[in-house]
Amino acid sequence: IPTKSHRPLIMLRLATARLGAVGTGGRSLSALAGPRDQVHLRGLIFHGHHGVYEEERKLGQKFRIDVTLDTCLADAGKSDDLKDAINYAIIYKTVEGVVTGPPAQLLECVAERIASAILSSQSRVNGVRVEVAKPHVAVGGVVEGLGISIYRPRVAV
């Protein structure tokens, strides 16, 4: 007879086994999640007018953007047809439109706009990581660059 401290673990294992046999059609939970493929666009450089300070918004500066898209590449891999893939040029233009578009004060806002634009226009994208960096920033010290990173999953509505 299991001790009281082991009972929750045993119950969890039993529930997991039942779920695996009944609720998932015999497939593992990781198999139900689908492929974990990604598309990367790295080092996109655009001139934008984002920032808290008037000089940043007036003169503008370079922004470096990295985007990682969670998707399934199986159909494109099998068909070798662009209609089954994510068109990188469209993603590039989407990011460009946000960065060169209306100014925002914060990098966080720029990243949110990029993530929202991609998720709303690309049904094949299950989640998106956006990194926005200012390569040249004045912070009173030597810095290679400063930036932020966000991840936004597609939320079922």
Of 78, 83, 93, 134, the active-site residue reads 134
DSSP string covering 75-133:
HHHHH--GGGS--HHHHHHHHHHHHTSS--S-HHHHHHHHHHHHHHH-TT-SEEEEEEE
Q: How far apart are CA 96 and CA 110, in angstroms?
A: 11
Active-site residue flag, 134: yes
Mind telling me the catalytic residues? 134
